[in-house]
Amino acid sequence: MNTPSIDTPSIVSPRRAVVLLSGGIDSATCLAIARDAGFDCHCLSLDYGQRHRAELEAARRVAQALGAKEHRVVRLDLAAFGGSALTDRNIDVPTDGAEGGIPVTYVPARNTVMLSLALAWAETLESRAIFIGVNAVDYSGYPDCRPEFVSAFERLANLATKAGVEGRRVTIHAPLIDLSKARIIRRGSALGVDYGITVSCYQADDRGRACGLCDSCRLRREGFAAAGIADPTPYAA
């Protein structure tokens, strides 16, 4: 990895992007879109103390399959802070699809933390582009999946960094923000994404097989149905 001098003028690589990659449908599609736009993609996954490793394995497969330049996993134990069913084993993952408001699967400040890390890496890569697969349609209960959140982060990024201070704007790309799950799946399929290697399930087993019951599985299944595309997800049951 290069370690640019901060005192000399920077050679910025406008075609280099940091892409946040969870290993699910959305981030895989986001990576395909970034590649299709001509970016060299440096993928970043966060190992935040997930209940299962299947997601990170999926991220690794997706990065490789979609021609990412590199894939790094940063370990950060968000579970130490508690508060989410995804990282805290004392909170059950809901399976009834009936909860209102903000889901208990919400990880505190997760997208803020992930974008911050992407920003740190983008700065050392001298990249001006960060891609995040957030989506305000299917996940409207999450405050950090909304367009105003993405805009506020972009504003912050350009105040927080050397690049911003020196007038080279960083852009946060959220190409899925207003797409339905069905449209995301159609878009990714057109770009050649193999969704059979992605994992969305909140509680996939060690072999990456989905539970078929959690909210994430339900949204995923409904998405394939609405897209009119066969669901390639390996289900445990």
The residues binding a copy of itself (CB under 8 A) are 1-7, 72, 74-78, 80-83, 88, 90-91, 99-104, 106-113, 115-117, 119-121, 123-124, 143-144, 146, 148-149, 152-153, 155-157, 159-162, 164-165
DSSP 210: B
> Rounded to the nearest whole angstrom, what is the least distance from the CB of residue 220 to a copy of itself in the complex?
22
The continuous run of DSSP H or E covering 103 comes out as none
Instruction: Specify the residue, 18 or 199, whose C-beta has the smaller distance to a copy of itself.
Output: 18
Strands 40-47 and 13-20 come out as parallel
Q: For residue 37, what are its two tokens?
A: 């736009």
> Rounded to the nearest whole angstrom, what is the least distance from the CB of residue 30 to a copy of itself in the complex?
19
Q: How far apart are CA 203 and CA 200, in angstroms?
A: 9
| Cα diameter, the chain | 58
The continuous run of DSSP H or E covering 183 comes out as helix 181-190
Instruction: Specify the residue, 74 or 236, whose C-beta has the smaller distance to a copy of itself.
Output: 74
> Rounded to the nearest whole angstrom, what is the least distance from the CB of residue 93 to a copy of itself in the complex?
13
Q: How far apart are CA 28 and CA 60, in angstroms?
A: 11
> Rounded to the nearest whole angstrom, what is the least distance from the CB of residue 109 to a copy of itself in the complex?
4
Phi, psi at 57, each rounded to 5°: -65, -40
Q: How far apart are CA 131 and CA 30, in angstroms?
A: 7
> Rounded to the nearest whole angstrom, what is the least distance from the CB of residue 127 to a copy of itself in the complex?
11
> Rounded to the nearest whole angstrom, what is the least distance from the CB of residue 24 to a copy of itself in the complex?
20
Instruction: Specify the residue, 99 or 178, whose C-beta has the smaller distance to a copy of itself.
Output: 99
Instruction: Specify the residue, 74 or 137, whose C-beta has the smaller distance to a copy of itself.
Output: 74
Give SS3 for 54: helix
